Structure 1
Amino acid sequence: MELLIPEWDAPANIGALATLRAGGYSAHPYGDGEGGLGLNLGAHVEDDPALVAKNRALLRRLLPQEPAWLSQVHGTTVEDAETAPPAAQADGCVSALAGAVCVMMTADCLPVLLCDRAGTVVGAAHAGWRGLAAGVLENTVAAMRARGGKDIMAWLGPAIGPEQFEVGAEVREAFMQHDATADAAFRSVAGRPGKYLADIYHLARLRLNAVGVADIFGGGLCTVSDSRFYSYRRDKATGRMASLIWLK
């Protein structure tokens, strides 16, 4: 199993990691892209359920308990990792209980991991453009603050990069309606009127900054151009990676 360990100034009692594509039991098109087996953690992508279960069991060995697997719907609902019903529909997760694991699955959308400086609360968010524009990061930060979190920091995991994320004018407009400075995150595509290249990392930083989260780490890893990652836009039929965070 290959892992990505966040490089950030989180307190010592914060556990966090993100999975990559290789090192599991899933075969093509959920494999490692080079003919080997892959660590697909998504149970909703038509992979063999038994293989997904084996992949999740591999990951479970690294964690204090089973993660709070959610049904992600590109929305703004936030659940608590210790009380969320199985497969609850939500795109944010928080916890102030040691051992409870927040998890988000992605394959181009932006995973965001969060914690506070005191190491008392953690959160994770699935920030596809719809959820990001609708306020999933703001809701996740608010849920952390409701549990006593202060001085919150964030790590931006692997997502579709600004050279690959072509969107229509409606996406740009959705962000511009909220914040005119979001214009800086969009570049017109030459010869394609109404099409833009969007920087989802820049957009996430704007939304986090607006709610007082200034310490932001990560960003810059492109799931489409880097074959270590699953990418829906690149491959269509593909697996899902996981980004996880917990209090030790």
Structure 2
Amino acid sequence: MTGGTRAKRRVTWGHIVSFVLATAIAYVLAVLSSLIFPVLGAPGVSALYVAAAVYVPLGVWMGMWGALAGYFSCFFLGLYPSGYTVIQSAVWSFADFIEAIVPAMLFRLLRVDPDFTVKRGRAAKLFPVFVSLGFAILVLGIIIQVLWGSLGEPFTSIYVGSVYTGLALALVGIMLGLLVGNAKTWATYIAGVILTSVLSGLWGAGTLTVFNFPPPLPSELFWPVFTGWVIGDLIVLSVISTAILVALTPVFKRTELYVEGWWS
């Protein structure tokens, strides 16, 4: 993918340890997200699922390891605190597997190098400002909601405003990336964010409300769950995952953990 001849890599303990750590971190963030930003009536579903910002970039960097981190963190979330059965959780958790595997698959099948750097110029100088500022504002809003959201106004309005402001700034940054960066990388990433949000939402909402063994929620909750799922994913992936990929991809690609195929 990156050009040149590279020695064939093997699966190492580093890959396994990274997968375990990512799964644990994603699980903790998933629990917190579902409790602090719940989609009412749907245990385990969050309107701002921050855990996706862990395993989606990991899928881009480490292929199947990121997808498995998404699956198992969601599986444990389904068991506790969501309260679903083992079978229900096992089926439902493919939603987060899908969420990580779709962007990873697009980069690999289209043979696109994940190069999130930008070219020189005035627009390129503005790019990190929009991406980092959008990330900082959203994270600040999340912190305010966690600490003082239970008190109501004005903290709730500050949180909502930070979400939309952070998203708007990040979207400007993404468009700048498309214009002054590697167009193939950014086009693939944009397609991945949109496609994976919709597909994971369809699977997640569908297995909770329409089909499973049996589905744990009533069928009429499909659209509220699906809508909250997709919007939340689009926000998290556009703002937080973008900032993580921009900041850490060059660093990660220099390590032995970087996976050009699916496992090594």
Coarse TM-score class (shorter-chain normalised): under 0.3
Taking structure 2 as the reference length, the TM-score comes to 0.24
Question: In proportion to residue count, which structure has more strand?
Answer: 1
Taking structure 1 as the reference length, the TM-score comes to 0.26
Which protein has the larger Cα radius of gyration, Structure 1 or Structure 2?
2
